[in-house]
Copies of this chain bind each other. A is one copy, B any other.
Amino acid sequence: MLCGKVPFQTGKDFMKTADLESYFKERKAIVDAALDTEMPAQDVPPQLLHKAMRYCVFPGGKRIRPVICLAAAEAVRGSVETALLPALALELLHTYTLVHDDLPCMDDDNTRRGKPTCHVAFGEANAILVGDALQAMAFAVLAKTPVSSSYTHRQLVAELSHAAGSQGVVGGQVEDLAVGNERPTADMIELIHRHKTADLFSASARLGGITGSADENEMGLLTAYGLNLGLAFQVVDDLLDANERDGGPKGDDRKKNLSCLSVYSPEEALGKAQALVDTAVVAAERLEGPGVGPLIALARFVVERTL
């Protein structure tokens, strides 16, 4: 299998695999506990909606976007405490996009993370509304971020709404659907990957940076880190998807999304992912706070993940 462990040569060995695992576990626990606190309980009316929202958010995946946000804050000497609410906003927003992407008229996925997708469990109308409410909640949570200047607040909301909007995640999904049976070019694929995935990775790093009062240079490095990592993440996703379709046990009736494997061989795609991660690592190495090690380890993990 091509997308297995890849021996990266860049950067220093900031974290061993075991360290990264415990780091992820600890950060996921922080994020999950805070999500649990911020989201209305299942017995708050309308109960059906709150139950469905929690069904989609928990147990969740690795919480990569919030973890990037927290590490980015620490990489510019900010704090986990100040970056926590933006980190939750990112996860709520990401979860809403998954719920809508899974719908029958989009990717038509029946399972996600080993359980029935939201529309299978709660019906199509409720799934649309769950996504809508999760997006609203992302901004509600973001608004609570304890920063002191109006400018900073404006930056946070502008950042997330731009990444989420017509020239970010939603734009990418529209472009993806519009490709249809057309033969895509490498440029088209990169553009779609950028909007569908990399914009939110970049926003994750940038939101952390904003809460840590990053200067212009640091924001540029965090942007480069997030964008390159996001693009690498999507290439690896395409490799994993192809691997799964070739006989993996988790296949379902998922419509085939645009994949970079329609223009690259698996070897080329892996090389591309590796180069993108290298670029992300180089950007992270130029930062100085204690979050740098985790950012680098995270970047490597993204390409090395075989799950």
Contacts and interface: CB of A to CB of B under 8 A. Distances in A.
A105 B132 contact: no
A161 B140 contact: yes
B106 A174 contact: no
A223 to B, nearest CB: 18
A198 to B, nearest CB: 16
Contacts of A133: 165-166, 170-171
Contacts of A140: 157-158, 161-162, 165
Interface in A76-135: 96, 100, 103, 105-106, 123-126, 128-129, 131-133, 135
A148 interface: yes
Copy total for this chain: 2
A242 interface: no
Nearest to A158: B143
Contact of A132 (B125, B135, B139): B135
B165 A136 contact: yes
A213 to B, nearest CB: 14
B125 A166 contact: no
Contacts of A149: 150
Contacts of A234: none
A288 to B, nearest CB: 27
Interface in A172-218: 173-175, 177-178
Interface of A: 40, 44-46, 48-50, 53, 96, 100, 103, 105-106, 123-126, 128-129, 131-133, 135-137, 139-140, 142-144, 147-150, 152-154, 157-158, 160-162, 164-168, 170-171, 173-175, 177-178
